[in-house]
Amino acid sequence: MHLLAVGGSDAGISAALRARELDPSVEVSVVLADEYPNFSICGIPYLVSGEVVDWRHLAHRRREEFEALGIALLTSTTARSIDVAGHRVLATDAHGERVLPYDRLVVATGAVALRPPIDGLERLGARDGVHLVHTMDDALGVLATLEGRAPERAVVVGAGYIGLEMAEALTARGVAVSLLEALPGVLATLDGELGERVASELERHGVEVVTSTTATALEREGSRVVVRALRHGSDGPPAPVEVTAGLVLVVTGVAPDVALARDAGATLGARGAIRVDRRMATGLPDVYAAGDCVVTHHALLGETYLPLGTTAHKQGRVAGENALGGERSFAGSLGTQVVRVFDLVAARTGVRDEEARAAGFEPVTVASSADDHKAYYPGATPVHVRLTGDRPTGRLLGVQMVGAGTGAVHKRVDTAATALFAGLGVDQVSDLDLAYTPPLGSPWDVLQVAAQRWLAER
């Protein structure tokens, strides 16, 4: 039995590891297009900031570990097509064509960075100090620009997770940052009230936050790049904005990389991602798929597309198990996410009003805030919560949180995610037996205060 995974990031590696764990007699190979197997793409901002001092440290595992595990890595090898009937993948490497036979295939081709319609983006690249930030090569390119040009200012286009993390990373390196976002607020994955707290934190650390502003053109000017944009006001025509910078990062999201599977006949679903069932089966015989290239089964929303590293790991694990004949199901995503932005942490799990309404709920969202621990003990800091529940049934639907890094927001959201996973009602959240000691908590946890506020106000 030979399991072949195409893709050397979270999903492909997880599938390979799970297969070896379940059956050490299975032959397992992983094909990847670059030289960076099992690298932490999520860690790129911390490489750029200098907190991670060597790019090699971003590897979750070293090559020797894969050898020890009996997993063969075929690096710098690009899968070109799948011969489903013949159970083989046709690939190319430096030496030419390769034919890779398999018994079971896991497609884990991931996603590609979106290229928004910015004039000049197609012409300018890493050599001009203009970068997408999605791969290790991208990351090393950004480092080269930082070292080679020592830019005084950077423009980051896109204020999602990666944009915020890159804004912080560049600030940490002493680069002045202008953050351009087409939407009216940063981190649009949170409600505006919480997004504004994140924007304030960015500004407090010197980041110029420019929202409602769409980048339209890039133009090289000597060793720098002029970024032209349009700022949309509440009335009147959009106002031109222009920033000149030595470094430009375009981080406006990703799209699933589906060509390999699509060309082999796989069905596509939400946002053009490969459609898989909860067993991660594509419908093509013996072909599974997982990670950023596939649709996401969301516990509340059904089929959606929500590429996250945590989800890729879980899907990969399921695919690896089922490829060997297992019967695991992906339990469902809740879109749980967290980002640290300077001294603040923002997190969410579940759905917000609009998504909940679209899914047939009658959502009510109630804002509250409570200290992370008893106020009499030094260092207490408020955690701001927006809790969404279904009015008629009282079911918990989602939680958003923003608080200081010392407030354990990143693990508080896990309590909410677990309650959501279990389908608890908001009143049951108030009933949870959570941990308390004065320097680290309160007898009623922040989340329980939020639940009680919701119950009183819904």
Which residues are catalytically annotated?
42
Tokens of 171: 């600030």
43 close to 52: Cβ distance less than 8 angstroms:
yes
Tell whether residue 441 is a contact of a copy of itself (CB under 8 A).
yes
Two structure tokens written together for 346: 């923002």
Nearer CB in complex with a copy of itself: 246/335:
335
Q: Is 314 in the site for a copy of itself (CB under 8 A)?
A: yes
Q: Is 173 in the site for a copy of itself (CB under 8 A)?
A: no
Least spacing, CB of residue 174 vs a copy of itself, in Å:
19
- Smallest separation (angstroms) from a copy of itself to the CB of 104: 22
Query: Quick one: which of 123, 204, 440, 457 contacts a copy of itself (CB under 8 A)?
Result: 440
Is 62 an interacting residue with respect to a copy of itself (CB under 8 A)? no
Does 410 interact with a copy of itself (rule: CB under 8 A)?
Answer: yes
Check binding of 413 to a copy of itself (CB under 8 A): yes
Would you tell me the crossing angle of helices 192-204 and 161-172 to the nearest 10 degrees?
10
Q: Which one of 46-54, 125-133, 148-156, 197-205 is the stretch in contact with a copy of itself (CB under 8 A)?
A: 46-54
Q: How far is the CB of 27 from a copy of itself (least distance, A)?
A: 21
432 binds a copy of itself (CB under 8 A): yes
Q: Give 265 or 423: the residue with its C-beta nearer to a copy of itself.
A: 423
Of 200 and 437, CB closest to a copy of itself: 437
Examine residue 378 and tell whether it contacts a copy of itself (CB under 8 A): yes
Q: Does 42 bind a copy of itself (CB under 8 A)?
A: yes
Out of 144, 238, 421, 458, the residue judged to bind a copy of itself by CB under 8 A: 421
In the complex with a copy of itself, the residue whose CB is nearer, 224 or 313, is 313
Minimum Å distance from CB 202 to a copy of itself? Answer: 16
412 binds a copy of itself, rule: CB under 8 A: yes
Per-residue x/- marks for a copy of itself, 327-366, CB under 8 A? Answer: ----xxxxxxxxxx----x-x-x-----------------
- Closer residue to a copy of itself in complex, CB, 45/120: 45
Q: Is 24 in the site for a copy of itself (CB under 8 A)?
A: no
Which of 94, 435 has the CB closer to a copy of itself? Answer: 435
Does 111 bind a copy of itself (CB under 8 A)? Our answer is: no
Instruction: Give the residues lining the site for a copy of itself (CB under 8 A).
Output: 10, 21, 40, 42-43, 46, 51-52, 57-58, 299, 308-314, 331-340, 345, 347, 349, 374, 376-378, 408, 410-415, 417-419, 421-424, 428, 431-441, 443-445, 456
